[in-house]
A and B are shown apart, each in its own frame.
Chain A
Amino acid sequence: MKIVLKNLSKIFPSRNKKSNGVVVAVDSLDIEIPDGKLVGLLGPSGCGKSTTLYMISGLQKPTMGQVFFGEHDVTMLEPEHRGVGLVFQNYALYPHLTVKQNIMFPLQNLKGEEKLDKEEMLRRAQEAADLVQIGDLMDRKPSELSGGQQQRVAIARALVKAPRVLLLDEPLSNLDARLRLQTREEIRRIQRETGVTTVFVTHDQEEAMSISDIIVVMKNGVKQQVGEPQKVYDDPANLFVAQFLGTPPINVFDGELSGGWLYIGNERVMDVSPDEPDRPVVVGIRPEGFIPSGNGCFSGDLKNIEVMGRDCSVVFTNEKSQKPSVRAIIDSDAGASLIGMSKVSFDLKRNKVFLFESETGDRIRF
């Protein structure tokens, strides 16, 4: 089922009653989520991504705007009529029911023509449990399961009623690092096998990048960019997106456009369109955008070289960097030749360098 969010906004009254203020959690969101895709809603905490998810589920009502499932406007529809499955951040498994009872719970709510007999319910519960590979834990109570197993039960419970849309709120945040890697592959697999349109919320860009078909980057309730993860990474719409995606994060410098050239400090780094007016800009350079070169256009004082197998990261300082140190990722052989030097200089890969307006952070395409 395709999901369309039109001009969706959620405004809360501010907690501080005296100020009479409001908090805009989600601001005029327009997103189209194609049928059958795995979509990651990504942003720092408080960016409105969970609120958006809850509005899709129907648990929260938008202040303005509409939610469409396919052609249907479901904005005012209660969650039970939407046919969504929701996996809560802390799973919300009923503590007094066994795994089997938890998974069957949604099926037992069906009424009238949809009503299922006991065998059919058990069969579907078993099918859902097998899908998430907990088929042998059916008689346990949630308290007897590990975090990862609870997560799977929650997914099975959400899937068993064959939802039109599967929603996951921070599905990996309560798991330890090892389980996280494993579970995110699992979510990818389950989504592929079922083909259900899936939206999940996360603050972890790596998580979103690794499994999503599409990511939606949000900040302060405003959509920043939508697209396939690699495209968004390679072509960020603004400084925020560029900084939010990628580990290690992008290096940011104060630069200047002058006479068709980009300067960082005194160094003339790159040519730009001569039509660009002269002005200060913000320069973002991905760590993998540096090529060591004896007389490169960009240099700094070497601090440290960390070798990590195939790659190594070169840590150096540059007075125009917005952070104390700059990090470049190059291959180990090239890194080895830099050991012992006090100054390093680089050429830059043009497609790894991004320019942004210093005031707004908007991307400058040069």
Chain B
Amino acid sequence: MADFSKYTKKDLNVESASRSQRISKIAGNIITYIFLTIMAVIIIFPFYWMIISSLKTMEEYRANVPTLWPQNIYFENFATAFGKANLKDLFLHTLLVGTISTVLSLIVTVLSAFAFARLQFKGKNVVFGLLMATMMVPGELYTITNYLTVSGRLPFASESISALDFTNTFAVLIFPMLVSVFYIYLLRQTFMQIPNELYLAAKVDGTSDFKYLWKVMLPLSVSTIITITILKMMGAWNAYIWPRLVANDAAHQLITNGLRGASFTDEFGETNYPAQMAAVTIVSIPLFLIFVFLRKYIMRGVSRSGIKG
């Protein structure tokens, strides 16, 4: 009935087949590696250029024919950068804001995630759905009103209430951005993977909810906690828009704003690019360190979200 063998090609040409397969395999490999290498060079190039530029003198940077490695390594750019951009203060502000908001954010996130993952109460699913829905809304929509709120311009008042004007304080850099629905979601997912039996066992032993959260759930969720910590810290480090609006004075300015706002232009209108690149390098170093040592935690969080920082 179904004699498929009539379709089978009779000759098995081993010689030519093995030659062509060898050639195509090698060619494929070479093309793959060449492609990856070219792309990798393009990806790395800005970092490379940033670093070598930061080590050049202005004369060398300006040279008509660019040098691919600084002829004299000129560290003074870093000193200039520190002075011009007031980097020390910026570092301190950012560290302060970053640390406080990370700690507070973790507390709030852990409590909410626990409630969503473990506790039973009416309205839980409605609230959770509502929170998830806010992830759709672009943050810019909040920013306008939040800007008014923190400057004491409330909808019922005819003018700004100066007692409620919190602009140019550290608090205003911390609280409006404290709750991230995404972090709550991330941690809730982690919590929910912890088997329910552990909770029941703890209940049987008379463990309180809070003690169970502290002694069992948190230790089992360390890696997600680390992920959230890193993302939150990076968020503070890279924050630009909100700080620029509400706390851009010298006493509260954060690193990114200071960097963008600093003038590296001299009295003749010429920009000191090596010093600027030195400042950029300094700002990038902590991020590089995080990248080198804590990459896997970021990757874990990132692959589950589209957010940056």
Name A residues whose Cβ lies closer than 8 Å to a Cβ of B: 69-70, 72-74, 76-78, 80-83, 114, 124, 127-128, 130-131, 159-164, 193-196
Per-position contact with A for B9-23: 1 when CB-CB < 8 Å, else 0? 100101001100100
3 nearest CB pairs, A to B: A162-B7, A81-B17, A162-B4
Instruction: Please state if A70 and B12 are interface contacts (CB–CB under 8 Å).
Output: yes
> What is the total number of residues of chain B having a CB less than 8 Å from a CB of chain A?
15
For B25, list chain A residues within 8 Å (CB). Answer: 78
Instruction: Please state if A74 and B14 are interface contacts (CB–CB under 8 Å).
Output: yes
By beta carbon, the residue of chain B nearest A127 is: B2
CB distance from A147 to the nearest CB of B (A): 23
Instruction: Please state if B21 and A131 are interface contacts (CB–CB under 8 Å).
Output: no
C-alpha gap A114/B25 in the complex (Å):
23
Instruction: Please state if B14 and A159 are interface contacts (CB–CB under 8 Å).
Output: no
Name B residues whose Cβ lies closer than 8 Å to a Cβ of A: 1-9, 12, 14, 17-18, 21, 25
Instruction: Please state if B21 and A194 are interface contacts (CB–CB under 8 Å).
Output: no
CB distance from A2 to the nearest CB of B (A): 12
Instruction: Please state if B5 and A162 are interface contacts (CB–CB under 8 Å).
Output: yes
**Contact flag A77-B7 (CB < 8 Å), given A72-B14, A131-B1:** no
For B2, list chain A residues within 8 Å (CB). Answer: 127-128, 130-131, 193-194
**Contact flag A194-B14 (CB < 8 Å), given A77-B21, A78-B21, A81-B21:** no
C-alpha gap A72/B13 in the complex (Å):
8
CB distance from B153 to the nearest CB of A (A): 55
Instruction: Please state if A194 and B3 are interface contacts (CB–CB under 8 Å).
Output: yes
The 19 listed contacts between A and B (C-beta, < 8 Å) are A70-B12, A72-B14, A76-B18, A77-B17, A77-B18, A78-B21, A81-B17, A81-B21, A83-B8, A127-B2, A127-B4, A128-B2, A130-B2, A164-B8, A193-B2, A194-B3, A194-B4, A195-B5, A196-B4
Instruction: Please state if A72 and B7 are interface contacts (CB–CB under 8 Å).
Output: no
**Contact flag A73-B4 (CB < 8 Å), given A78-B21, A83-B9, A114-B9:** no
Additional pairs, 4, CB under 8 Å, beyond known A77-B18, A196-B5 = A74-B12, A114-B9, A163-B8, A195-B5
C-alpha gap A310/B25 in the complex (Å):
62
